[in-house]
Amino acid sequence: MPFKDILGHDREIGILKKALANDRLAHSFLFSGPDGCGKRLTAVSLAKSLNCSESKDDFCGTCQNCREIENLSYTDVFLVEPRGPESKGAEVDYTGGTIKIDAVRDIQHRLAYKAIRGGKKVCIVNGAEKMNRDAQNAFLKTLEEPPSDSIIILIISDGATLLPTILSRCQRINFRPLPRNILIEMIKQKLHASEDTSALIASLSGGSIGKALGWDKELILEQRKENIGRLMHLSLADPEKIFKAAEDIAKGDSPVELLEFLKIWYRDIALLKERREDMIVNSDLLPLLKEHAKDQTLESLISGFKLINQAQVDMMPPRYANKQLTVENLLIQLSGS
């Protein structure tokens, strides 16, 4: 799978291929963009191109080096990801996990040695925004004096924050969401979904193939309908329902993602009021949209959208606000608007 087989990121791949061809690759990169859009795939592909035994400035994907890198068993390429507490098994956890200073020290130890296989050492930090402050400060020393035979790639989500001193030492490449037509075709092939269902999932995923393929398509669409229907009927006159809804959302698999669906819902209502039904994502729920739109003004929709977005920011790193309290506060405000 050479670079040309990575779909939807011609601009980003072009930057890397030009740097490879001119032997002007930066020592440190920052890959930023929506979750699941291909940043990690591109980082691993760059590691293959630097160590492939069969191809120069690209990779074959089939040689022993490429296969070992794909399986993360290649000595000179290592991946660091956020993990949960030891009490929970310390598994990779993108929702509540962190990258602690011990992981950074391990990176520094491994980077201190020469590349064993003669290529380049590549350190990929996926979810770099999950480094706590001590880890970021320690990592800064490595970025200030990177080993000459090493490449460091930090991967962050849209809107994520890192120390300005870290950002200033990395070449930033911004990854855009995958084009909708490419995403729809991939969903149709991988999930064996219809054209309409594939288009709906593509829109809900925000250009993230990782999200789209990770969902159970029937379940996610049904949950979306149930949750939207439930939330739109909340009222300050019945606070118990608000608290129960907040508890269910907070304890769910991905409260931030559910709130993303709610943001899309508010956007769709605004489009409905502007008579732009052709741009609505939740077109299959048009009667429900029209019902919810009756008591909404553009001002209340904009305000609600901002409140939902702020709740997402508060729950994500580096703030890690209490999920249930954050959602309770959000639903109370939305119910009163």
Residues 168 and 227 in one domain: no
Residues 255 and 323 in one domain: yes
Give the range of the structural domain holding residue 298, as residue numbers without chain letter: 216-336
pLDDT at 104 over 80: yes
Residues 170 and 233 in one domain: no
Which tokens belong to 6? 């990575």
pLDDT at 227 over 70: yes
User: For the residues 164-188, what does the mean pLDDT come to?
Assistant: 92
Provide CB contacts within 8 A for 313, sequence distance 6+.
159, 319
Residues 223 and 152 in one domain: no
What confidence tens digit (pLDDT) does each residue in 185-202 have? 999 998 888 998 999 999
Q: Between the ranges 152-156, 158-162, 225-229, where is the mean pLDDT highest?
A: 152-156
What confidence tens digit (pLDDT) does each residue in 71-87 have? 999 999 999 999 888 76
pLDDT for 328 equals: 94
- Is 102 among the domain residues? yes
- Is 276 among the domain residues? yes
Domain termination site, one of 117, 145, 174: 174
pLDDT at 337 over 80: no
* pTM of this prediction exceeds 0.85: no
pLDDT for 161 equals: 79
Q: Could you give the number of structural domains in the chain?
A: 2
Q: What is the CATH number of the domain that holds 332?
A: 1.20.272.10
- Is 13 among the domain residues? yes
Residues 152 and 18 in one domain: yes
pLDDT at 332 over 90: yes
Q: What is the CATH number of the domain that holds 92?
A: 3.40.50.300
Residues 45 and 161 in one domain: yes
pLDDT for 136 equals: 94
pLDDT for 263 equals: 93
Cis preceding linkage at 34, omega within 30: no
pLDDT at 303 over 80: yes
Residues 149 and 25 in one domain: yes
pLDDT at 156 over 70: yes
pLDDT at 128 over 80: yes
Residues 263 and 124 in one domain: no
- Is 300 among the domain residues? yes
Cα distances (angstroms) measured from residue 261 to each of 49, 85, 116, 188, 221? 38, 29, 47, 21, 10
**pLDDT class for 1, splitting at 50, 70, 90?**
low
What confidence tens digit (pLDDT) does each residue in 31-49 have? 999 888 999 999 999 999 9
Residues 42 and 132 in one domain: yes
**pLDDT class for 124, splitting at 50, 70, 90?**
very high
Between vectors from CA 59 to CA 56 and to CA 60, what angle results, nearest 5°? 115
User: For the residues 287-297, what does the mean pLDDT come to?
Assistant: 89
pLDDT at 317 over 70: no
**pLDDT class for 318, splitting at 50, 70, 90?**
low
CB 223, CB 272: distance < 8 Å = no
Long-range CB contacts (< 8 A, 24+ apart) of 299-305? 300/337, 301/266, 301/269, 301/270, 301/273, 302/270, 303/337, 304/266, 304/334, 304/337, 305/263, 305/266, 305/267, 305/270
- Is 72 among the domain residues? yes
- Is 182 among the domain residues? no
User: For the residues 46-62, what does the mean pLDDT come to?
Assistant: 93
Domain termination site, one of 147, 174, 201: 174
Average per-residue pLDDT for the chain: 90
Residues 125 and 220 in one domain: no
- Is 34 among the domain residues? yes
What confidence tens digit (pLDDT) does each residue in 243-279 have? 999 998 888 778 888 898 999 999 999 999 998 988 9
pLDDT for 246 equals: 92
Residues 30 and 112 in one domain: yes
- Is 107 among the domain residues? yes
Q: How many CA atoms lie within 13 A of 12 on its CB side?
A: 27
Between vectors from CA 242 to CA 240 and to CA 244, what angle results, nearest 5°? 70
- Which among 225, 216, 242, 205 has a CA at the least distance from the CA of 288? 225
Domain termination site, one of 148, 174, 200: 174
Residues 165 and 222 in one domain: no
